[in-house]
């Protein structure tokens, strides 16, 4: 009997190593194997820890577009692409045929009916309202005052503290707290002090991180499975339930505070309120005409807060984190940025002159390079309303999802040249006149393209430049030797282990 048991164990081990070899060791086959019943899912699950780089490798050898076959009857078939012509077609030329789709709303259910999940007329009206606010001179002045205040009273004291203590800290955490405080003020008008020497825990910020992580797992699970887990409250879906509860508590508090402020100041919401925070504007939006929305509850306002908080905090914090890591590997870029600062912003005081900041071409190019290589949102997703043929020749219908890999697009040699993987700010500078070189949005897809292009692009660049100038001019950042750098499994390209650094103050720069 013992002999039979040993044989069974031996056979089991052989089977294990056989499948391990097929999935892991087939080095000449980058694309995942299409298994009976399971489709290509096993190969993807094995690579989930480095999914963005794996997708980039697949697309590099697949002429920029790859058809992923999910398990049978799972509804997971999707076309994965980084082809600029496909992006232009879907997001511009044939925009009306592509929606986020109902499955997208289900996966991102924590955002409710916010601007990122809305389609059609509701999306159009929300976008128009946001455009009015973001382009208003009053809001832009409000934004500059806010970022100035948060840098002076939050960022500088924290960096000075770590410099004096000569202590290792997580720069990503610092940027997330700074971006959270700034964005919360711009979105709700509420002040927050999550960035302080005490580094207090923030329930809302943690809920954002957890929700973003759960959404990634939803993309590689059959819908029925993650929905069952959510209903029961198991695994990652338990995190989502807890995150939604945290969102509900926090947003209710922000909305209540805004109503009290309006009453106490006898504000006219239809008048000057649009020059301040976004919540004031959307409180005045008539939602009674939309079937999906109930004007008698606050869910719509909560969804607005969650959507804009996601966009504001993560885009800036993530970009700055990867940006300073890239600078640590390219000290010559730091030297050039400091020379540019001395030329355009002389003196040691902080300046928020947008015209002067816009003259800093090399800094802008360096930020664009960081965004190209490490896009904050590494993929976009669309669903066709009716059958269509993409410029790449692939046919899609409403049963297929299209996944646009923004991360892979920035690394495609056929798009950016043989040096696509290199950090080269000069890529964005015109050799003819030394000005900024424009790249079409369907090639530099970080800020989306077509009618859904990012409304906050200019504001984001202004905020990032302001933070970058303050730090590069006054501090030296050094990444801890041996610290492991890799993206987290999230819909936002966070660093999985943070960015551990030390900081030291520089002398006054004349």
Known binding-site residue numbers for heme: 454
Q: What gap in Å lies between CA 364 and CA 368, rounded to an integer?
A: 6
Residue 407 · residue 52 · CB < 8 Å: yes
- What are phi and psi for residue 169, nearest 5 degrees? -145, 170
**Residue 392: CB partners within 8 Å, gap ≥ 6?**
63, 64, 65, 81, 83, 85, 86
Extract the annotated binding site: 454
Residue 411 · residue 337 · CB < 8 Å: no
Q: What gap in Å lies between CA 283 and CA 301, rounded to an integer?
A: 7
Q: What gap in Å lies between CA 272 and CA 281, rounded to an integer?
A: 10
Q: Pull the structure tokens for residue 506.
A: 């520089």
Residue 343 · residue 360 · CB < 8 Å: no
3-state secondary structure of 163: helix
Q: Pull the structure tokens for residue 49.
A: 């820890």
Residue 280 · residue 267 · CB < 8 Å: yes
| HSE-up (13 A, CA, CB side) for residue 467 | 30
**Residue 30: CB partners within 8 Å, gap ≥ 6?**
57, 58, 61
Residue 70 · residue 43 · CB < 8 Å: no
């Amino acid at each position: 009997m013992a002999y039979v048991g040993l044989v069974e164990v031996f056979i089991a081990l052989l089977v294990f190593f056989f499948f391990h070899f097929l999935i892991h060791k087939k080095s000449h086959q980058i694309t995942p194997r299409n298994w009976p019943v399971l489709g290509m899912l096993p190969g993807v699950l094995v690579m989930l820890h480095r999914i963005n780089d794996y997708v980039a490798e697949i697309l590099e050898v697949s002429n920029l577009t790859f058809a992923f076959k999910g398990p049978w009857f799972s509804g997971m078939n999707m076309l994965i692409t980084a082809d600029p012509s496909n992006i232009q077609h879907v997001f511009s030329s044939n925009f009306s045929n592509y929606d986020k789709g109902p499955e997208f709303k289900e996966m991102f259910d924590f955002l409710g009916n916010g601007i990122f999940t809305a389609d059609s007329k509701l999306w159009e009206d929300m976008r128009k309202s946001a455009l009015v606010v973001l382009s208003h001179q009053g809001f832009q002045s409000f934004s500059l005052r806010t970022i100035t205040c948060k840098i002076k009273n939050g960022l500088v004291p924290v960096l000075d503290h770590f410099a004096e203590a000569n202590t290792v800290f997580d720069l990503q955490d610092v940027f997330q707290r700074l971006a959270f405080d700034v964005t919360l003020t711009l979105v709700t008008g509420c002040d927050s002090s999550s960035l302080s020497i005490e580094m207090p825990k923030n329930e809302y910020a943690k809920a954002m991180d957890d929700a973003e992580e759960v959404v990634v797992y939803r993309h590689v699970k059959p819908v029925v499975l993650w929905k069952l887990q959510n209903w029961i409250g198991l695994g990652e879906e338990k995190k989502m339930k807890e995150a939604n509860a945290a969102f509900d508590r926090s947003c209710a508090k922000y909305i209540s505070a805004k109503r009290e402020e309006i009453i106490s100041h006898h504000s006219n919401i239809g008048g000057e309120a649009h020059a301040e925070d976004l919540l004031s504007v959307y409180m005045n939006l008539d939602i009674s005409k939309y079937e999906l929305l109930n004007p008698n509850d606050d869910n719509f306002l909560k969804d607005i807060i969650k959507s804009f908080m996601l966009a504001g905090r993560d885009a800036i914090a993530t970009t700055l984190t990867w940006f300073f890591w890239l600078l640590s590997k390219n000290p010559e870029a730091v030297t050039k940025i400091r020379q540019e600062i001395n030329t355009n912003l002389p003196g040691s005081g902080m300046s928020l002159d947008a015209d002067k900041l816009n003259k800093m071409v090399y800094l802008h190019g360096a930020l664009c390079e960081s965004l190209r290589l490490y896009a904050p949102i590494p993929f976009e997703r669309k669903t066709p309303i009716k059958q269509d043929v993409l410029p790449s020749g692939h046919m899609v219908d409403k049963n297929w999802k299209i996944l646009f890999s923004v991360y892979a697009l920035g690394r495609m040699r056929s798009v950016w040249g043989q040096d696509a993987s290199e950090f080269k700010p000069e890529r964005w500078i015109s050799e003819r006149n030394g000005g900024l070189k424009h790249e079409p949005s369907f090639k530099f897809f970080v800020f989306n393209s077509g009618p859904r292009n990012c409304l906050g692009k200019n504001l984001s660049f202004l905020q990032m430049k302001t933070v970058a100038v303050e730090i590069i001019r006054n501090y030296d950042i050094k990444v801890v030797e041996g610290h492991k750098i890799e993206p987290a499994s999230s819909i936002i390209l966070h660093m999985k282990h943070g960015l551990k650094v030390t900081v030291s103050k520089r002398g006054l720069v004349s």
